[in-house]
A and B are shown apart, each in its own frame.
Chain A
Amino acid sequence: MLTAAQAGLVSCHECGLLSRWSEPPRGGRLRCPRCDSVLHRRKPDSLHRTFALLAAGFLLYIPANVLPVMQVIYAGRGEPDTIMSGVVVLFDTGQPAVAVLVLFASITVPMIKLLGLTWMALSVQRGWRWRVRDRTVFYRLIEFVGRWSMLDIFMISILVALVKLQALSTVEAAPGAVFFASVVVLTMFAAASFDSRIMWDVEEASR
């Protein structure tokens, strides 16, 4: 199978225009003749960036789950809630559907993203050629579902802004929310910096 790279061609990430590849001089870059965005055959430094961002994501994932994300003060009384304790409270108060949604968006999705991207990056680094097609589909799924992790942060932001009834009830964001948002942002960057095509490069190189 002929790839664009083998044919000496490169496609623009932004506008998709196929143009002829010529080796840029040292320190120079190629730009798209149509939309003027920077052209590269593969996302630059893809594996390194992905690994670095994933590592940061893993590190911040711990405080994001251990520290409280939100404090609901109702009638002067309120305990800080971590993500997990919030899920438990939702479940206990008879809202299992919301509890499952929050559990999925805030715990399952970031975890799948972190572990999935790590696994894919490792597979490229180790030169695995196993089920490349399925892995590509999985990558697309991760990229798609990743944005839903921001559901929790979105909810906190709205609640903090809306529930300001002073003595009656107040919602305050807790430090965990910052870490959680950082994790989500980092995994999104990690997913964006990972170039799924390098999985196919491994496949091609082994032929």
Chain B
Amino acid sequence: MSSDPPAGPAGIPADVPVAVVERKRGFSMVWIVPIIAAGIGAWLWWDALQQRGPEITITFSTAESLDAGKTKIQFNGVEVGLVETVTLAPDLSGVVVKARMEHGTDPLLHAGSRFWVVRPRIGLGGVSGLGTLLSGAYIEVEPVPEGAPARTFAGLELPPETPADAPGLKLKLMADNLGSISVGSPVNHHGITVGKVEAYHLADEAEGVEIDVYIDPEYSPRVRAGSRFWNASGIDIAFGAQGIKFAASSLISLLAGGVEFDTPPEGTSTPLAKSGATYHLYADQTASREVFSESFPVAMYFGGSVRGLEIGAPVEFHGIRLGTVVSFALEDKPIDEALTRVVVAIEPERIGRKLGSDETAEQRIQRLVAAGMRARLELGSLLTGALFVDIVLDPGQPATSQGVPGEIEFPTVESTSEMLASLASEAPKLMDDLRRAIGGLADLAVSEDLHLVLGDMRQVTVDMRQALSHIDRVFTSIEALLASQSAMQVRVAAVLDETAGTMRAVRELADMLDRQPEALIKGKSSSGDH
């Protein structure tokens, strides 16, 4: 501002200095306002950056109820993140959810951490996620305590039934058929629920179903290597000598299916089960008990009808079960010599015996057959008409045997019912013979030579004749009874047929209930398949 001093006004000496003019400073107090605003903005920005955690990617099969910018990620009820985008996977196999986690959530993000969507769910195990009815779905995270840090996760479709680090036993059951077992079905031991079914899927290698079950830690020592698991779903209806047995494990098992296990006496000394062990899931308790390490097939050929024989029918000796019918089929023969080949599996352990090492199964059977062992079909139940294979020791009976090489075979004999039938067909002839013989006797009695001899025996003869005519009447009535056209026999046969039909229907119902116990409540499913 100060350059050459300007020429002063007249009368004022030129050497009087000019005052320094201070211009008003450019800074005014009002600039504090934007500085404060900038400070607030910077603090907000810094704070937001501080709160910002890592971005993670979760894949789900469906984005149902997931909203970008709204759905939260929670851990034990605390919000730890927010879904930012929901996009389709490039190969359309599912959806990719990108979420921004909050600051300090790294301990939740380890490889193996599980993410699933919490939606309201109503299942037989209970109602869960009711809170989300109002608040909307959220993603729950369940961390694993340690592991490599991860940012990409595969979301679970269903909430895990138990935490990954739960202290109980995790077992795998291999089953032929899932039946009515579902996730959450109980695992019972002596009727007490000790665990539950966590998941199931088709087995990777073998045919069948793989079921993951979890056993609560306090009951884990109950499971041993020799324990046996069976499907306790639904109702067990058994027709036995004691009548009809009706058993259901529990109402929950009835509705939701269930698994039961037990340790047979011979398994009590086996080691405790370890997590990850695999067991077979038997179809029912009986099947779980009838597990035999040894069995060998034996063939037998029957000439008569095998109506009423079923796969699974017992093979018995003196009423003790020895084995099971495995298959039966008509042999390729001319029609007039039709033969049915029945294959049974003989399980020596059923009678507490193992095959000795000194004698093969074939040798033993041959020895027994030589001693008179025969097989025949017997009626197991009058009501159902079910047949079983009865093993008898009857060296006197003529046996039929095919003698196919390389096949262990039981010779067969006619069953008692077949014998009865053939007896009935022979009865009229027998009756004729008897009458002729009696007639001859009567002729003899009236002859002159015998008159004297028999004089004192007349009374005896008269008595005898009376007795004989009585016998004659009896035989006549037997003949009438046995005649195939007899009205009563026809009626009895019809009644028996009808009863057998009814019983078959009941058996089918029982079978269906066994397969689909829920049919009791829901009715028969329209698709025949489960």
A-to-B contact residues, CB < 8 Å: 45, 48-49, 52-53, 55-57, 59-60, 62-63, 67, 75-77, 79, 179, 182, 186, 193
Contacts and interface: CB of A to CB of B under 8 A. Distances in A.
Interface stretch (B36-44, B169-177, B236-244, B292-300): B36-44
B29 to A, nearest CB: 9
B28 A60 contact: no
A48 B34 CA distance: 11
B41 A62 contact: yes
A60 B41 contact: yes
What secondary structure prevails in chain B residues at the interface with A?
A: helix
Contact of B31 (A48, A57, A63, A186): A48
Nearest to A193: B30
B135 interface: yes
Contacts of A48: 26, 28, 30-31
Contacts of B41: 59-60, 62-63
Nearest to B67: A79
Nearest to B28: A48
Given A63-B41, A76-B134, A55 B70 contact: no
Contacts of A52: 28, 30-31, 33-34
B46 to A, nearest CB: 12
A79 B70 contact: yes
Contacts of A186: 33, 37
Interface in B1-51: 26, 28, 30-31, 33-34, 36-38, 40-41, 44
Contacts of A56: 33-34, 36-38
Contacts of B44: 63, 67
Interface of B: 26, 28, 30-31, 33-34, 36-38, 40-41, 44, 69-70, 134-136
B488 to A, nearest CB: 79
B120 to A, nearest CB: 13
A77 B28 contact: no
29 contacts: A45-B28, A48-B26, A48-B28, A48-B30, A49-B28, A52-B28, A52-B30, A52-B31, A52-B33, A52-B34, A53-B33, A55-B38, A56-B34, A56-B36, A56-B38, A57-B37, A59-B38, A59-B41, A62-B41, A63-B44, A76-B134, A77-B134, A77-B135, A77-B136, A79-B69, A79-B70, A179-B40, A186-B37, A193-B30
B66 to A, nearest CB: 14
Contacts of B135: 76-77
- Among B33, B44, B69: residue with most chain A CB under 10 A: B33
A166 to B, nearest CB: 14
Contacts of A53: 30, 33-34
A60 B37 contact: yes
Nearest to A183: B37
B4 to A, nearest CB: 26
| 7 nearest CB pairs, A to B | A56-B37, A55-B34, A56-B34, A59-B37, A76-B134, A52-B30, A49-B30
A67 B43 CA distance: 14
Given A53-B30, A63-B44, A75 B134 contact: yes
Contacts of B31: 48, 52
